[in-house]
Amino acid sequence: MEDNEKPSFARAAGGVSSNVIKTSSAGLSASFIKLPCGETAFIVRPEKQGILPVILLAHEIFGLHEHILDLARRLALDGYLVIAPDYLSRYGDIATASSIDALRLIVAQASDAITLAIFDEAFEVAVNYHGDLQRVAMTGFCWGGRIVWLYSAHNSKIRACVPWYGRLDGERTLQQEYWPIDLAGQLKAPTLGLYGGADPTIPRELIKKFQKQLLEHDAPAEIKIYNDAPHGFCADYRETYRPDAAQQAWREMCAFFKRHHV
């Protein structure tokens, strides 16, 4: 499957900003694959290289659209095998949903247990594409950031996790029983949270509460706050993009992965 067979950007994300970044695929091998569970995943890696460290990439509420594919290409150019599963489309048409509210109705149906199992499959399938299962990290954005926190508590084999502005608390349901704030004492992987200080959806007071819990549990985790950054500050295709904060946070993420041997 070629990139142009996928919708460029999710409809509900609105108009594409002039800041949008388009990373070249030159020197990369990229394709869409099917995981054993039947879900689609985007996989990209540098061409003509051997065994590579792996990054699992958890997409936003907007699904596996062009922004996530571009982020995957950027990571691959840094020498990673990147696997980004589509873990929400089984619940509804993410790409063409007309509004954020319509997306939220879809996401509310998503089973965390199924989502974590999808990432387990992505983890294991990496070996088929010359990925080193001893060097696997994970990052994710928005709703995917929440999933990264959950995965840090789920998979003891993961080396490092970097969630970007993932929600820390919310309604508990049969599908979504736990939130990151419930799991401070269960995190297994070194985790670096990247958050905006001007994000009304994740108040600074809640972040501080979670930071306190992480300290009390001696969790292998820390949170960095970018003071004037809103939610979605890495999303260069949206008006929320803040290049200085995004670039600094990206450098922090890459350094964190390398520090933990990924």
CATH of domain 3-259: 3.40.50.1820
Compute the mean pLDDT over every residue in the chain, rounded to the nearest whole number.
94
Res 11 pLDDT > 90: no
Domain boundaries, the chain: 3-259
Phi, psi angle pair for 196, to nearest 5°: -90, 135
Residue 128's Cβ-count burial label (10 Å; 0-12, 13-18, 19+) is exposed
Distance CA 122, CA 124 (A): 6
Q: What pLDDT is attached to residue 10? A: 84
Distance CA 81, CA 9 (A): 23
Res 97 pLDDT > 60: yes
* Token pair of 191 as six digits: 């985790």
Q: What pLDDT is attached to residue 162? A: 98
Res 7 pLDDT > 70: no
Compare 95 and 35 and report the one with higher pLDDT: 35
pTM listed for this prediction: 0.95
Q: For 12-25, write each residue's pLDDT tens digit.
A: 888 788 889 999 99
Res 6 pLDDT > 50: no
Q: Do you know the residue count of the chain? A: 262
Q: For 40-82, write each residue's pLDDT tens digit.
A: 999 999 998 899 999 999 999 999 999 999 999 999 999 999 9
The identity of residue 107, as a single letter, is V
Check residue 215 and report its DSSP letter.
H
Residues known to be catalytic: 142, 199, 231
Res 4 pLDDT > 50: no
Q: CA 67: distance to chain centroid?
A: 11
